[in-house]
Amino acid sequence: MNSKSKGDCVEKSSTGNQFNDSENRKLAQLSEFVVNNKGTKMTTNQGVKVSDDEQSLKAGVRGPTLLEDFHLREKITHFDHERIPERVVHARGYAAHGEFELYKCMKKYTSAKFLQEDGKKTPIFIRYSNVVGSKGSVDTARDVRGFAIKFYTEEGNYDLVGNNIPVFFIQDAVKFPDLVHAIKPEPHNEIPQAASAHDTFWDFVATNQESAHMVMWLMSDRAIPTNFRKMDGFGVHTFRLVNDDGIAHFVKFHWKPLLGVHSLVWDEAQKIAGKDADFQRRDLWESIEHGNFVEYELGVQMIPEDKEFMFNFDILDATKLWPEEIVPVQKIGKLTLNRNVTNVFAETEQVAFHPGNVVPGIDFTNDPLLQGRLFSYLDTQLLRLGGPNFTEIPINRAVCPFHNNQRDGFSRQRIDEGQVSYHNNSLANNTPSTTSVEKGGFGHYAEKVEGRVIKARSDSFADHFSQARLFWNSMSPPEKQHIIEAFNFEVGKVNSRNVRQQIVDMFVNVDKGMATTIAEAVGVNPPTGEQVNVSASSPALSMEKTVYVPQTLKVGILIGSGFDGVEVREVVRSLRNQGVTVDVIGERLGTLIGKDGAKIIVNQTFETTAPVLHDSLYVVGGNADNQMKFNRDIIYYINESFMHYKPIGFAMSGMPYLRQSNAMVGPGIITASGNGEFSKAFLEAIAKQRFWKRNIYN
């Protein structure tokens, strides 16, 4: 009899979980390592008090520096070694702490302890990242975002190392170095940084057509998310959930943001890159600092083992998704990010994720992309984090005890007592001892595997275009238009006409109209092939029907002195009541006085911020010292926001600016009517975020 409880799911306990302090465990563990240097005496790393940190030791005030200055040597040497290799991919990342709360017990499907008890909380650490750019690149590049989560469970660390796009470029891990070499800056001139718009990437795509589906996602708005808080996350691969009885289900993991999935406009994304390269990390940091905790729901799609072959795609192929209309997503828990990191290097940079970090009840499948990843991550950490002891770095430590006979190596922290470091032994009563699978030891799923050793790919992986077409069919008209514009930009940057032609010829398989339009824009012959015959769509793939709420959106109030205090106060109050953030943008920082004596504090100037850094504008206007510049700045802000389909509200006093700008009364342009309905209408428009039906070219 299995010693694990085979009864019903555990009821939610009064404390919310069995581990009373489980959500605090990681925090408590990390706290032991946190050092506060404020108010302390400066010492060397040996603890010797430093008497002078301004001058090196010299032979005479103008003489040579002396080697015996151990403080100087130690300080410079440590500085020389401050950097570690950046990640070969996903170098630019940003992270936060949080907790995962299980909605409903998953005992029927998995024995993973953190998925057993309704309401159970588990501490987590998340790192978001951009795949291509270097550590110092920009946030808003067109790129896949990494979405890596470490669950510090009572049975050890479980890492769900996913992306914000549910499929991948390639089917087999052996091709990963080729993909990455092709998409990274070209080796002969290291150009372009953090961009896929160049010859080698598109040459790779044309000659490796399994990438078609992922490239459609990359050209879509999904690759320019507004911020980390408003994008989906996906485990991408098919994993296995295994229950106490050894019954397995194939599973795909989804993270769904409670604020909905929203994206930037490409022109906006490029401008933000210049105005605020840290746009997305700043957003995450500020949201958490302001108590706007970030929330996602965890969803699972599950397929019983015996239904593996019931689909018109191979469920082991990472270039395929499971349409939600066919395999529904069940929401099983909520992730809340509620604490920023204390130190970016110690946590965000040193965290080491590995898809091979699983706990009993979660297992792998034979997805050949996943299989290669199982090798890669540990390997890369050994170099990046300087040896095999990186699991002892505070952010990587499990919160449960860990014991084994692994010893020594660079930067070993723990001091293992005793003479025994081998198994089997009698001197320590054969401890650390193993745990049977029945009692909670990890047991690999006993899948039956048969086959000849062969370097080949299954025929069931051969269809590269049906799901790319499914994706295209599922897009709304503006989403389709954005995909075409993205291709026009990206392929238009390719110097080789031959590659441009190959791309157009390749994507005719997805949609002939789309490929023909792209061909015209990038100066090649119209494609002659035919698209695949797929008429199905998956409405869940479109972002159109996402969640629309005003909370945490940012409105810029464009204002000068002499404003109408009553009008402005009422609007600001309504916005803030709905959790909208307000920036007051004026000619200079400081206090402005309204015509009725009202005061408002300007916290941004037209120079310190930009229209692309706001979700909406409220145009009040007023008086300024340099009225011409002030008026011109306001018109510029309106025109940019109008071009990016954003809602703009106009106070009565702001109406003249509407007439002088390119904006026209129409979708998302809310004007004060004086009947008290303005704030309501403006808030509704803010929540909607973009007005794609707006004609921006008139």
Stretch near ligand HDE under the rule CB under 6 A, chosen from 115-123, 197-205, 372-380, 607-615: 372-380
Q: Which is nearer to ligand HDE, 89 or 259 (CB)?
A: 89
d(CA 632, CA 609): 15
Contact 319, 368 (CB under 8 A): no
Q: Distance between CA atoms of 143 and 137, rounded to whole angstroms? A: 12
DSSP 303: E
**Judged by CB under 6 A, which of 88, 400, 437, 484 binds ligand HDE?**
88
Q: Which is nearer to ligand HDE, 376 or 488 (CB)?
A: 376
Q: Which of 120, 334, 373, 644 binds ligand HDE (CB under 6 A)?
A: 373
| Nearest-10 crossing angle of helices 565-577, 678-688 | 40
Work out whether 380 is an interface residue with ligand HDE (CB under 6 A). Answer: yes
Nearest to 262 by CA among 655, 685, 549: 549
Q: Using the rule CB under 6 A, is 127 a contact of ligand HDE?
A: yes
What distance in Å separates the CA atoms of residue 150 and residue 29, rounded to the nearest whole number? 15
Tell me which DSSP letter residue 347 carries.
I
List CB contacts of 570: < 8 A, sequence separation 6 or more: 679
Ranked by CB distance to ligand HDE, the top (closest) residue is 146
Least distance CB 111 / ligand HDE (angstroms)? 24
Q: Does 402 bind ligand HDE (CB under 6 A)?
A: no
Q: Give whole-number Cα distances, 281 to 226, 287, 288, in Å.
A: 11, 10, 11
CA distance 57 to 41: 20
Question: In this chain, which stretch among 4-12, 365-373, 419-427, 518-526 interacts with ligand HDE, using CB under 6 A?
Answer: 365-373
Phi and psi based region of residue 406 (left: phi greater than 0; alpha: psi -120 to 50; beta: remaining): beta
**Shorter beta-carbon distance to ligand HDE: residue 117 or 347:** 347
176 sits near ligand HDE (criterion: CB under 6 A): yes
**Given the residues 71, 90, 237, 354, the one annotated as active site:** 90
Put the strands of the sheet holding 669-671 in their side by side order.
604-605, 581-586, 554-559, 616-621, 648-650, 669-671
Residue of 17, 130, 157, 163 with catalytic role: 163
Considering only 330, 376, 538, 604, the residue that binds ligand HDE (CB under 6 A) is 376
Contacts of 257 (CB under 8 A, 6+ apart): 229, 230, 231, 232, 294, 295, 296, 547
Q: Which is nearer to ligand HDE, 368 or 622 (CB)?
A: 368
* Of 26, 71, 87, 271, the one binding ligand HDE by CB under 6 A: 87
CB of 370 to ligand HDE, least distance (A): 7
126 near ligand HDE, rule: CB under 6 A? no
The closest alpha carbon to 23, from 119, 109, 105, belongs to: 119
Nearer to ligand HDE, 235 or 550 (CB): 235
Q: Is 233 in the site for ligand HDE (CB under 6 A)?
A: no
Distances from the Cα of 442 to the Cα of 115, 374, 439, 445, 469, angstroms = 16, 16, 9, 9, 41
Q: CA distances (Å), 49 to each of 41, 43, 78, in order?
A: 7, 4, 17
In one-letter notation, the amino acid at residue 640 is: E
CB of 390 to ligand HDE, least distance (A): 10
- The yes-or-no answer on residue 90 being catalytic is yes
Least spacing, CB of residue 369 vs ligand HDE, in Å: 5
Q: From the CB of 126, what's the least distance to ligand HDE, in Å?
A: 9
What is the closest distance, in whole angstroms, from the C-beta atom of residue 683 to ligand HDE in the complex? 36
Alpha carbons 169 and 176: distance in angstroms, whole number: 9
**Dihedral through CA 378, CA 381, CA 382, CA 383, nearest 10?**
140
Element spanning 99, H or E:
strand 92-102
CA-to-CA separations, 213 to 283, 339, 489, 697, in angstroms, rounded: 30, 36, 18, 31
Q: Does 163 bind ligand HDE (CB under 6 A)?
A: yes
Q: Is 254 a catalytic residue?
A: no
Contact call for residue 550 and ligand HDE (CB under 6 A): no
Query: Which one, 369 or 557, has the nearer CB to ligand HDE?
Result: 369
Stretch in the footprint of ligand HDE (CB under 6 A) among 84-92, 224-232, 323-331, 601-609 = 84-92
Tokens of 379: 């390997």
168 binds ligand HDE (CB under 6 A): yes
- Please report whether residue 654 would count as binding ligand HDE according to CB under 6 A: no
- How is residue 470 written in tokens? 């499914």
Nearest distance from residue 377's CB to ligand HDE, in Å?
4
Q: Give the rounded distance of the alpha carbon of 93 from its chain centre.
A: 8
Total count of residues recorded for the chain:
698
Rule CB under 6 A: is residue 129 a binding residue for ligand HDE?
yes
Q: Which of 93, 156, 185, 560 binds ligand HDE (CB under 6 A)?
A: 93
Q: Which residue from 103, 313, 377, 445 is in contact with ligand HDE, where contact means CB under 6 A?
A: 377
> Where in 439-478 is the site for ligand HDE (CB under 6 A)?
none
- In the complex, the smallest distance separating the C-beta of residue 454 from ligand HDE, rounded to whole angstroms, is 19
228 binds ligand HDE (CB under 6 A): no
Closer residue to ligand HDE (CB): 91 or 683: 91
State in angstroms the smallest separation of the CB of 396 from ligand HDE. 11
In the complex, minimum distance from the CB of residue 439 to ligand HDE, in angstroms, rounded to a whole number: 32
Q: How far is CA 206 from CA 200, 256, 454, 510, 670, in A?
A: 10, 32, 26, 13, 46
φ/ψ region of 251 (left if φ > 0, alpha if ψ in -120 to 50, else beta) reads beta
Catalytically active residues, by annotation = 90, 163
Footprint on this chain of ligand HDE (rule: CB under 6 A):
87-90, 93, 127, 129, 146, 148, 161-163, 168, 173, 176, 236, 318, 353, 369, 372-373, 376-377, 380-381
